[in-house]
Amino acid sequence: MNLWRFRALFSWLGELRYAYLAVLYVLLGASIVYCFGASERSIRFVGGGLQVLGIGTVAWGISLTRKQFGHQPIYVWFYSWLRRCPLIRRTAHLNGSGITMGISVSGRLTEVFTPSPDASVEERLSAVERGMGTVQKRIGHAEAQIDQEIRDTHNKIAVEARAREGGDRETMSALESASTGGVHVSAIGALWLFVGVILSTASSELSSWFR
């Protein structure tokens, strides 16, 4: 029971991991300022660093949004764009071993009972009976095949409908995550920019105040 409570506590505390990250860098900057005696130069340096980190969260948010929609990272896209430069000479190769051709042939063989011209009435009736039996078998086989195709089609439609519903839910989740999922990144960047601007603009006042 105690182990479960500890796990629940750690999970609950982990919900604020981004807030811990934001505050950690602010405290790190404050410790740097303290180590250098709260000089104006150190305060301005830490403020500029926090501003750079705040601006970097913009790139972080863009990267997260691109990843959510399955896009390549920025550096991969940039490298691909450079390779498409018209000034770069490229050689084209055609691999013939990867070319394959397929031919599918299907057919049906049906036995036809045709009596001879000089056959008797009994032989003709027997041929007609055998032909009727063959026709009935073919009709039964065709009906069974049609029923099977109908069942397969219904199953495929049901599977496709479930797949589309799942895809719609994933799309809505991705849109919601892209719209609101980057809020924590923006909040971190806003905090760092806020503290960085204050330290950079009021470095002399803060230096004299700490002394």
Which tokens sit at 207? 């230096």
**Do 18 and 186 touch, CB atoms closer than 8 A?**
no
User: pLDDT class for 153, splitting at 50, 70, 90?
Assistant: very high
DSSP secondary-structure letter at 73?
P
How does pLDDT run across 52-69, given as a tens digit for each residue? 988 888 778 777 777 767
pTM: 0.50
Q: What is the pLDDT of residue 146?
A: 92
Render pLDDT for 59-105 as a digit per residue (tens, 0 to 9): 787 777 777 677 777 777 777 888 877 777 766 555 555 555 555 55
The model's pLDDT over 128-147, given as tens digits with 9 standing for 90+, comes to 778 788 888 889 888 999 99
DSSP 112-151: -----TT--HHHHHHHHHHHHHHHHHHHHHHHHHHHHHHH
